[in-house]
């Protein structure tokens, strides 16, 4: 077994920003790049939300706090991701498409519940904002995971609350590197070739979702790659 074997402990961290996952064609290109990388090493794919989605989520929280109805915001979120699914539908088997639509529906319903709470209480606590802002990353990663499966890549989807801990202000929390390195020992020892991780949110000691400071998050990804003998590549 060589250091560059896909079954070796090292892996490459590939972070894709919102532009890189901005539509169905770009998501397919992401999977093409990951597929190419997997020929030489294991890969941890980290993805942002589709372009504009995070701003939409944060704006909806501000407007719901002022009394705006959640419905139009929720429908826009649903429609945007449904359009991506419609474009990639031919690449997915019936069961895969049904699984993806179910996952996206669950995320959308969570969005609706959170926004209804903001409207009802006329306040948007930081923890709620953190949870809202994570929904776009979760949606894009759900789509990417099914595209990866359609290419026979067998990804393992990671829950950031279980594998990334961050402490402090829940909208700019700092990664707990010692905890993360210990937790990722399981992944280093595992045989999965492809890991998929939603970007820029994590968990605290109680496993609540929190948003990491983006500068710290990028440093963390580079550090994880280095700790595992791999490299870190960032795509806007």
**pLDDT tens figures, 200-221:** 888 887 767 787 777 778 888 8
Per-residue pLDDT tens digits for 91-114: 999 999 999 999 999 999 999 999
Q: What is the pLDDT of residue 223?
A: 86
Residue 186 pLDDT more than 50? Answer: yes
Note the pTM of the prediction, 2 decimals. 0.92
Q: Considering only CA atoms, which of 159, 143, 141 is closest in space to residue 45? A: 141
Residue 42 within a domain = yes
What DSSP assignment string belongs to 145-213?
HHHHHHTT---EE--HHHH-BEESSTTSBEE-HHHHHHHTHHHHHS--SEEEEESSEEE-TT--EEEBP
Q: Please choose, from the candidates 179, 105, 183, 147, the residue with its C-alpha nearest in 3D space to the C-alpha of residue 21.
A: 147
Q: What is the pLDDT of residue 39?
A: 92
How many Å apart are CA 102 and CA 214, to the nearest integer? 30
The overall average pLDDT reported for the chain is: 90
- Count of the separate structural domains present in the chain: 1
Give the pLDDT score at 205.
Answer: 76
Residue 31: which of 19, 48, 14, 18 has the closest Cα?
14
Contact 147, 91 (CB under 8 A): yes
* Cross-strand bridge partners of residue 233: 14
What's the rounded Cα separation, in Å, for the pair 107 and 104?
Answer: 5
- With respect to residue 189, please indicate whether it lies within any of the assigned structural domains: yes
C-alpha separations of 3 from 7, 10, 47, 201 in Å: 9, 7, 25, 30
Residue 176, domain member (yes or no): yes
In a domain, 53, yes or no: yes
| pLDDT confidence of residue 2 | 41
* Residue numbers of the domain that contains 136: 11-235
Residue 2 inside a domain? The answer is no
Q: Residue 229: give its domain's CATH number.
A: 3.40.1160.10
pLDDT score recorded for residue 142: 98
In a domain? residue 5: no
- Residue 209 within any structural domain of the chain: yes
Could you read off the pLDDT of 110-144 as tens digits, one per residue?
A: 999 999 999 999 999 999 999 999 999 999 999 99
Torsion of CA 120, 122, 123, 128, to 10 degrees: 30
What tens digit of pLDDT does each residue of 16-55 get?
999 999 999 999 999 999 999 999 999 999 999 999 999 9
- What secondary structure letter does DSSP report for 44? E
In a domain, 6, yes or no: no
């Amino acid at each position: 077994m060589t250091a560059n074997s896909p079954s070796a402990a090292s892996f490459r961290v590939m972070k894709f920003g919102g532009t890189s996952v901005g539509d169905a064609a770009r998501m397919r290109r992401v999977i093409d790049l990951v597929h190419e990388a997997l020929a030489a090493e294991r890969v941890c794919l980290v993805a942002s939300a589709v372009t504009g989605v995070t701003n939409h989520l944060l704006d909806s929280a501000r407007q719901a706090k002022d009394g705006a109805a959640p419905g139009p915001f929720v429908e826009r979120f649903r429609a945007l991701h449904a359009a991506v699914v419609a474009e990639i539908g031919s690449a997915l088997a019936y069961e895969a498409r049904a699984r993806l639509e179910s996952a996206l529906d669950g995320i959308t319903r969570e969005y609706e519940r959170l926004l209804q709470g903001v409207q009802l209480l006329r306040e948007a606590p930081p923890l709620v904002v953190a949870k809202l802002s994570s929904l776009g990353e979760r949606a894009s990663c759900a789509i990417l995971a099914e595209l990866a499966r359609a290419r026979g890549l067998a990804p393992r989807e990671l829950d950031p609350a279980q594998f990334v801990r961050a402490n402090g202000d829940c909208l700019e929390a700092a990664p707990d590197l010692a905890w993360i390195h210990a937790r990722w020992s399981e992944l280093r020892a595992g045989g999965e070739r492809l890991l998929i991780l939603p970007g820029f949110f994590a968990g605290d000691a109680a496993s609540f979702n929190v948003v990491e400071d983006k500068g710290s998050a990028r440093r963390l990804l580079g550090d994880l790659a280095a700790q595992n003998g791999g490299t870190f590549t960032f795509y806007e």
